[in-house]
Amino acid sequence: MIRITLFLCLLCCPSALFAGDRPNIVWIIPDDMSANFGCYGETAIETPNVDRLASRGVKFTNAFVTAPVCSTCRSAFITGMYQTSIGAHHHRSGRGELKIHLPDNIKLVPKIFQEAGYHTSITGWPVNGKLGKTDYNFQWDPSVYDSNDWSERKDGQPFFAQIQTQGGKLRGKDAQGWKKVSSAAEKRLGSRTKNDAVKLPPYYPDHPDVIRDWAAYLDSVRMTDVMVGEVIARLESEGVLDNTLVLFMTDHGISHARGKQFLYDEGLHVPLVISGPGIEPGGVRQDVVEHIDIAALSLAAAGIKIPDTMQAKDILAANYKPREAVFAARDRCDETVDHIRSVRTKDFKYIRNFLPNRPYLQPCAYKDAKAILIAIREYHAAGKLDEVQQLLMRETRPNEELYDLQSDPYEINNLADDPQHADKLIQMRRRLDTWMEETGDLGRESESPAMYDSDMKVYTDRLSSPKFDPAHLQEIKDNIALMKKWAAEGK
């Protein structure tokens, strides 16, 4: 009712665009972080600020990204569109000579807010005078952001602000990064997360580096929670918190072997907490939602009409009909070519591997440089991985994967060949086929060699600087050659 009244007012009174009662919208979006917060059941650490935000608003327990890597995920939520529908499904694409352009009928969310009279900003934290992370896979006009700080708005002007932070990236890739974030946590909070507090998923080995990395990751969660508290404190000190919709979500799950870049829940499941005007405190939503939905619900909260073409849904609307399933896609990440799709309901996950003859852990210079991947491969070579931990080391993949998430939340037991689940397999297979057809999945055709070469040139040229390790650059070039070889072989 609040939204309907506000929208009618805006239609009748254009001057209301700058009225003080229009809610501000703030998105807080850290990188590379799963739902390891107290309000989501994490017990190894305390996260009082995110927990408090959840108690003041609504917590979604089944929120999932449509893409498990930064640029594709961000290209999706900033448009409210599946990245596969707008040609933004390859990570860090359109960066070279060949560009990607959005369809004419698609506008970026900040542009829509601007046209409705909002001040728009994007920043890191603390605010440092620079625009925050965008990482969109298409050509876009930076003028959709008025500045990097909502303080630069006009008197009485509502604001749409994005705060993009490092999140799980705070822990870096090795011992140097682990020490840095844990020291920061100890300095700010009086302690660092101890190794014996870590409880790993069963598919990761108890290698000392894997454990230490996870402890540092938890410290990055704690420091992210501190940042959330600082943002809320600033809004409160400025007297705008009560009229601000605050949304906390991460851009995909933890960057780990089976998380980021994969379509298992470790890569797709994210926290989503929303509080502010019209949100009843202490709410918990268990229906499945997609991360692109933040585009639609934010526009609706501001009384702005959601574009008819937008695929995101206003999941806060009184007449919202819950989704039965959510969808995700993984395509090329950096130099590594892949093509995977998934559909998930509350109870089942179906994954289709379009390149089944490739190994799970394909060569990828970005991930292979991480100490945790080095550790897992070290244990594999030494025969120290158990049967479950060996899953990621397989040299080929099944065409299809089906998991009963209620009995198998870690997605270990593939039921695709189980006759007792044949009907469920057919049902989930059809769901995915229908979604790919109805949304115009552009990943059904491979990325052109010209586009691949265009983006790889930007990637390798950047790393040709003397400040980068030449061995790392050579590794990427070798991987590029391998991707082309496998493609030529039909692999």
The string of DSSP codes covering 255-272 is -STTSTTSSSHHHHEEEE
Q: What is the pLDDT of residues 369-378, one digit of tens each?
A: 999 999 999 9
> Residue 401: what are its φ and ψ, rounded to 5°?
-130, 140
Mean pLDDT of 290-312: 98
* 245 contacts 301 by C-beta, under 8 angstroms: yes
**Omega before residue 126 within 30° of 0, cis:** yes
The pLDDT-based confidence of 302 (bands split at 50, 70, 90) is: very high
CA angle 416, 418, 419 (to 5 degrees): 120
Q: What is the pLDDT of residues 187-235, one digit of tens each?
A: 999 999 999 999 999 999 999 999 999 999 999 999 999 999 999 999 9
Q: Phi-psi category of 139—alpha, beta or left, where left has phi over 0 and alpha has psi -120 to 50? A: beta
- What does the alpha-carbon distance between residue 123 and residue 436 come to, in Å, rounded to a whole number? 34
Query: What token pair was written down for 470?
Result: 């030449």
> Residue 60: what are its φ and ψ, rounded to 5°?
-100, 120
Residue 8 pLDDT > 90: no
- What does the alpha-carbon distance between residue 294 and residue 102 come to, in Å, rounded to a whole number? 19
The whole-number pLDDT of residue 21 equals 82
Q: What is the per-residue burial (b if ≥16 Cβ within 10 Å, else e) of 21-32?
A: ebbbbbbbbbbb
- What does the alpha-carbon distance between residue 57 and residue 271 come to, in Å, rounded to a whole number? 13
The whole-number pLDDT of residue 14 equals 36
The pLDDT-based confidence of 5 (bands split at 50, 70, 90) is: very low
Query: What token pair was written down for 92?
Result: 């860090």
How far the first Cα of the chain sits from its last, in Å, is: 55
Q: What is the pLDDT of residues 419-443, one digit of tens each?
A: 999 999 999 999 999 999 999 999 9
User: Between the CA atoms of 167, 169, 174 and 178, what dihedral angle is there, to the nearest 10 degrees?
Assistant: -20
* 425 contacts 351 by C-beta, under 8 angstroms: no
* 179 contacts 353 by C-beta, under 8 angstroms: no
* 81 contacts 294 by C-beta, under 8 angstroms: no
The whole-number pLDDT of residue 3 equals 46
Per-residue DSSP letter, 407: T
Pick the closest to residue 91 from 112, 70, 76 (CA basis): 70
- What does the alpha-carbon distance between residue 404 and residue 327 come to, in Å, rounded to a whole number? 16
Q: What is the pLDDT of residues 137-186, one digit of tens each?
A: 999 999 999 999 999 999 999 999 999 999 999 999 999 999 999 999 99
Residue 18 pLDDT > 70: no
The answer to whether the predicted template modeling score (pTM) of the entire model surpasses 0.85 is yes
Residue 490 pLDDT > 80: yes
- What does the alpha-carbon distance between residue 84 and residue 76 come to, in Å, rounded to a whole number? 9
Pick the closest to residue 121 from 270, 271, 202, 231 (CA basis): 231
Residue type at 115 in one-letter notation: E
* 138 contacts 75 by C-beta, under 8 angstroms: yes
* 331 contacts 443 by C-beta, under 8 angstroms: yes
Task: Name residues whose C-beta falls within 8 Å of residue 490's C-beta, 6 or more positions apart in sequence.
Answer: none
- Average confidence score pLDDT of the chain: 95
- For the chain, percent of residues with pLDDT exceeding 70: 96
pLDDT-wise least confident of 33-47, 109-123, 399-413, 459-473: 459-473
The whole-number pLDDT of residue 19 equals 45
Mean pLDDT of 92-99: 98
pLDDT-wise least confident of 15-29, 60-74, 196-210, 445-459: 15-29
- What does the alpha-carbon distance between residue 263 and residue 412 come to, in Å, rounded to a whole number? 13
Q: What is the pLDDT of residues 264-278, one digit of tens each?
A: 999 999 999 999 999
> Residue 326: what are its φ and ψ, rounded to 5°?
-125, 155
Residue 17 pLDDT > 80: no
Residue 20 pLDDT > 60: no
- What does the alpha-carbon distance between residue 291 and residue 250 come to, in Å, rounded to a whole number? 9
Q: What is the pLDDT of residues 96-121, one digit of tens each?
A: 999 999 999 999 999 999 999 999 99
Number of helices followed by number of strands (H, E) in the chain: 13, 12
Task: Name residues whose C-beta falls within 8 Å of residue 195's C-beta, 6 or more positions apart in sequence.
Answer: 208, 211, 212, 215
Query: What domains are there in the chain, each with its CATH number?
Result: 2-173+221-319 (3.40.720.10), 330-453 (3.30.1120.10)
The whole-number pLDDT of residue 40 equals 98
- What does the alpha-carbon distance between residue 304 and residue 23 come to, in Å, rounded to a whole number? 11
* 137 contacts 92 by C-beta, under 8 angstroms: yes
* 207 contacts 373 by C-beta, under 8 angstroms: no
Residue given tokens 């998380």 in the structure block: 259
SS3 content of the chain, % helix, strand, coil (to 5): 40, 15, 45
Residue 75 pLDDT > 80: yes
CB count within 10 Å of CB 101 equals 12
Pick the closest to residue 102 from 78, 132, 68 (CA basis): 78
- What does the alpha-carbon distance between residue 115 and residue 93 come to, in Å, rounded to a whole number? 28
- What does the alpha-carbon distance between residue 367 and residue 372 come to, in Å, rounded to a whole number? 9
Q: What is the pLDDT of residues 254-263, one digit of tens each?
A: 999 999 999 9
- For the chain, percent of residues with pLDDT exceeding 90: 96
* 146 contacts 176 by C-beta, under 8 angstroms: no
